[in-house]
Amino acid sequence: MNFNEYQTKAITTAVYPEHQALPYLALGLSGEAAEVANKVKKILRGDYDNDPKKAEEALASISKELGDTLWYLAVLANELGDSLDTVAAANLDKLASRKQDGTLKGSGDER
């Protein structure tokens, strides 16, 4: 499955208040990304050091949260009139340009 196929299927499961689409989807995206970060934090903190099975479950749950993050990203991109293929290609182009310019590290959107 490619990004556009995923996006097309994700849109069919989207249920949210249309008049609040942008904030709803942006908040959902940030919430899911925060869940990923929180699970990684717990691994770094050592919460699962003594229980390999729980550590394995934590890693699997991160993958599920990444899926939820991808769903919000796909639907939000659609709301903005973008395809995930276009967003992904533009991002890789930007990063390749920064690599060539030696500006991968640093801050600011327009480096």
pLDDT of residue 105: 81
Instruction: Quote the pLDDT of residue 106.
Output: 72
The answer to whether 16 and 27 are in contact (CB under 8 A) is no
**pLDDT tens, position by position, for the chain (111 residues)?**
999 999 999 999 999 999 999 999 999 999 999 999 999 999 999 999 999 899 899 999 999 999 999 999 999 999 999 999 999 999 999 999 999 988 888 776 665
pLDDT of 67 = 97
Please answer whether residues 25 and 73 qualify as being in contact, where contact means their C-beta atoms are separated by less than 8 angstroms: no
Residue 71 corresponds to which tokens in the numbers above?
């769903």
The verdict on domain 19-101 having CATH code 2.40.50 is no
Q: CA 91 → CA 51, 84, 86, 102, 105, distances in Å?
A: 38, 10, 8, 16, 15
- What lies within 8 Å, CB to CB, of 21 at 6+ separation is 79
Residue 51: which region, alpha, beta or left (left: phi > 0; alpha: psi -120 to 50)?
Answer: beta
Strands (E), the chain: none
